[in-house]
Structure 1
Amino acid sequence: MSILTKRHEPDTLTFNGVTVRVNTSFDTILRVLELQQDKLFDDAEKLYITLEMLIDDHQKLNLKKWEEISAVVNQALALLSRKTADADSAPVIDFNIDAERIYASFLQDYDIDLSEQQGRMTWQKFIALLNTLSDDTPLMKAVGYRVMEIPPETKGKERERLMKLKRHYELPTQRKEREQAILAYMERLKKE
């Protein structure tokens, strides 16, 4: 169903005949994503905390086993994955690193203060707006440098400037890939 034609009704899931509301506000989902990276909690704790974050009245489900909790959390996350852009491509946005850019970009393009939308704007709407930000926003400028292929004919100061901007805006995963490529190249040179 299209975002344009779907009535704004809360997302729900049904488990063992009991229907509960799933909290799909963008800020909750961002907290869930943040939690998954947190080394303070083990996987079982993350699973239970995610359940509590996504489903306020999860007690109604009377979940007794970890397998049941996992099934409910996966069902809730499946609601979101159907609404999210292609997850197979390499990430060019990091919600933690880019938080200020995202905030400023929403203000610039849509006059939306995301802090005022917490608990109100759904993940689906957030992603739809994020995916259509104009190229002159702070986030899309950073993404542009991250994905930019510098043409080989670009030389001198211009090439230096673009390389500096790419390094400035690169994500840690991109930095790691770049460093690994440099090390691999140096290893090949040693062998020659």
Structure 2
Amino acid sequence: MLSLTRSEDRKSNPTGLNNEFDYQGKAYKLDLSFDTVISFYQLLDDEHFTAEEKVSVAFEMFFGFKPQDADFAVSAFEQISNYLREQPYGNDDDDEPSSDMQGTPTPAIKYYSYTQDAQAIYASFREQYGINLLQEKGKMHWDEFKALFAGLNDKTYMSRIIQIRMRDTGELKGQELTDALNAKQYYELNENKTEEAREQQFTGFMNTIKAWAQS
């Protein structure tokens, strides 16, 4: 049995945030610093690696060693993927996805990218919190980063970009419409524009690990 746990070692982890996995009675240290998680997202997008290479690199990112036990790897990344998908709100399993007028499910639009928007996120953290994210690499936990990111106020650079991407232009006209469309185009995400695309990446990643476990 493997589960994500809170560390009781206050010296190595004074916040008590998740940083361990328990597997068959043994605790494994887990690197859940924000930059490691973002590097994992980048790895999923990187077409230069094969699916098998991504599994090996990702495991080394989080655990510091290459996977030897396929069952352990499957259990670990099932827990990690569930953890990374988790949101503070709207996690009810009974919630149905939104649909269009014909009843076809419509994927949730992705309005930000931790990688493409990295500079805007950096500027926003400096602006609102006085935090230099470059100095927080390997230190700031993903839980803390997510909480601070979600708490960015409407005046920060990142929040303004999200507002531009989310703006409904249906009733705009003339120069106001032109300006809004130009802004949307300028700040448009390059790829993976929906949460559905991210879910497909996670699914493909997990299928590779499960195939290894069954081989």
Give the TM-score, by structure 1 length.
Answer: 0.76
Higher helix fraction (1 or 2): 1
Correspondence list, 1:116-155, <5 A: 116-152=135-171, 154-155=172-173
| Paired position in structure 2 for 1:32 | 40
Selected match of 2:74 from 70, 73, 76: 70
Report the secondary structure of 2:27's partner residue: strand
Selected match of 1:50 from 52, 55, 58: 58
Deviation at 1:161, TM superposition (A): 1.1
Question: One-letter code of the match for 2:138?
Answer: G
Selected match of 2:180 from 136, 149, 162: 162
Question: One-letter code of the match for 1:149?
Answer: D
CA separation of 1:169 and 1:72: change in aligned 2, threshold 3 A: same
CA separation of 1:84 and 1:172: change in aligned 2, threshold 3 A: farther
Correspondence list, 1:165-176, <5 A: 165-173=183-191
Gaps of 5+ in 1: 1-6, 177-192
| Paired position in structure 1 for 2:85 | 81
Q: Deviations over 1:102-148 (max 9, x none)?
A: 00000001100000111111101101111111111111111101000
8 A Cα contact 2:109 2:193, kept in partner = no
Which structure has the larger Rg? 1
Question: One-letter code of the match for 1:73?
Answer: F
CA separation of 1:116 and 1:64: change in aligned 2, threshold 3 A: closer
Counterparts of 1:135 and 1:33, CA distance in 2: 26
Once the two structures are overlaid, the 10-residue window that deviates more, 37-46 or 76-85, is 76-85
Report the secondary structure of 1:12's partner residue: strand
Deviation at 1:83, TM superposition (A): 5.6
CA separation of 1:30 and 1:89: change in aligned 2, threshold 3 A: same
Deviation at 1:32, TM superposition (A): 0.7
CA separation of 1:175 and 1:14: change in aligned 2, threshold 3 A: closer
Percent identical: 25
Counterparts of 2:88 and 2:30, CA distance in 1: 16
